[in-house]
Amino acid sequence: MSRSKIVAIATLITTTSVLLAGCSTTATNSASPTASNTPSATSTPAVQYEIAPLTGMRFIKGTNPYLSGPAIMGKVDNAPAARPQNSLNKSDVVFEELVEGGMTRFLAIWQSNLPDKYGPVRSVRPMDPDLAAPFGGIISFSGGNREFVAAMQRTDVFVTNETNQLGKNTFERVTNRFAPHNVMVHARTLAKQHRNIAAPKTQFNFADALSQATAFIAGKPVTSFAVNFPSGRPSWSWNETARRWLRSQYGVKETDATDGKQLHATNVVVLKTRIDRSFKNFRYGYIPRTVVVGGGSGYVFSGGKVLAITFQKKNQNDPIHLFDSAGKPVLLSPGNTWVELMPKDVGSINIKYAKVVATASASPTATK
């Protein structure tokens, strides 16, 4: 074989070996990439949540359009002719307060679940500025004593009524109810017209779940309880299946006109309050004012259990703070809350505790 052919064959063999070696190195790197250099094809970003300030409920970020909006408050009538009311089951917080004649009226607050309409709304009362001020937002009512209206206007809450809302499609006199129990308010329309009003700050402290709520951990099991006002007897029964309290009045189930369901709450807070009767109206006589600024004692009902508590409120703009017997903040269960403002002098509470079923010991002690 000639020298030139030998050289050509050797060159060809060398080139082929180099190419094969290069191909072998590339396949190995691609089949076994290092974790630090190659991101996982199945990795997904962590889900982000936002917390409803008045209920402690978690929502996937961006899925609840109301959380960035204002609290919408309404002074809701509770006279027999006003029942069933609209949209109380959608509220985040409801205060039940004593009014003249021993009856009660509600201050209801919506934020995380705005209804189309709520009501019927009635006139403002002297304790409402102290209750509403910490929430900010917007309040709606129909009429009221001049002094009480002026006191509400001195807060940072935006006041709406039939007069200043004429032509804005927010207030409506419905035809299926009789006056004065027929004034309804359109919450979503009201919120859209006041997007500049900020969302409320957190009012109560909430656990991440019912199992971590203070009353559920440290409280005593109960089946029901009733709060006695001079002309009202709201009672609450624990429903284990629904995991919430169901409301009745004098033993009759109270329902919501919007969804037809019985009124319910995840938490019920009962505060023993002092009543100021210094204001006298020439027409209605003494108009009671529930005093919440300062503090006192009460109960928290969550998860079928009750816990004795104390509460504090430093001033009008300060939220109501709840504490256990050790002075630690009470954590409510995530969900809506009703607050019963029970007058200490003319009110009372009856609690039915659950019977504790004794269990037989696995190793009983022998008797002699």
pLDDT (average), residues 60-82: 97
Helices and strands, number each (H, E), in the chain: 5, 25
Confidence class for position 42, pLDDT limits 50, 70, 90: low
Look at residues 265, 247, 270, 238 and name the one whose alpha carbon lies nearest to residue 333.
265
Could you tell me which residues come within 8 angstroms of residue 105 by beta carbon, excluding any fewer than 6 positions away? Answer: 75, 76, 77, 78, 96, 97, 99, 122, 125
Please identify which residue in the block is written with the tokens 């304790």. Answer: 127
Apex 157 CA angle, 147 and 123, nearest 5 = 45
Q: Three-state SS across 238-249? A: EECCCCEEEEEE
Q: Are 57 and 95 in contact (CB under 8 A)?
A: no
Output the six-digit token pair for 30. 């691609």
140 in Cβ contact with 73 (< 8 Å): yes
At 20, the pLDDT band (50, 70, 90 cuts) reads very low
- Is residue 35 pLDDT above 50, yes or no? no
Asked if residue 226 lies in contact with residue 235, where contact means CB atoms within 8 angstroms, the answer is: yes
pLDDT at 347 over 60: yes
Tokens of 10: 């050797």
Q: Which residue has the higher pLDDT, 22 or 270?
A: 270
Q: Considering the chain, what percentage of its residues have pLDDT values greater than 70?
A: 85
Question: How far is it, in rounded angstroms, from Cα 357 to Cα 136?
Answer: 47
Q: What is the pLDDT of residues 159-201, one digit of tens each?
A: 999 999 999 999 999 999 999 999 999 999 999 999 999 999 9
Look at the block and give the residue holding tokens 């936002």: 50
The answer to whether residues 164 and 152 touch, using CB atoms and an 8 Å cutoff, is no
**For residue 66, how many other CB atoms are within 10 A of its CB?**
19
Contact present, 138 and 71 (Cβ < 8 Å): yes
User: Which pLDDT value is given to residue 359?
Assistant: 57
Supply φ then ψ for residue 10, to 5 degrees.
Answer: -65, -40
Ordered domains of the chain (ranges, CATH): 58-353 (3.50.90.10)
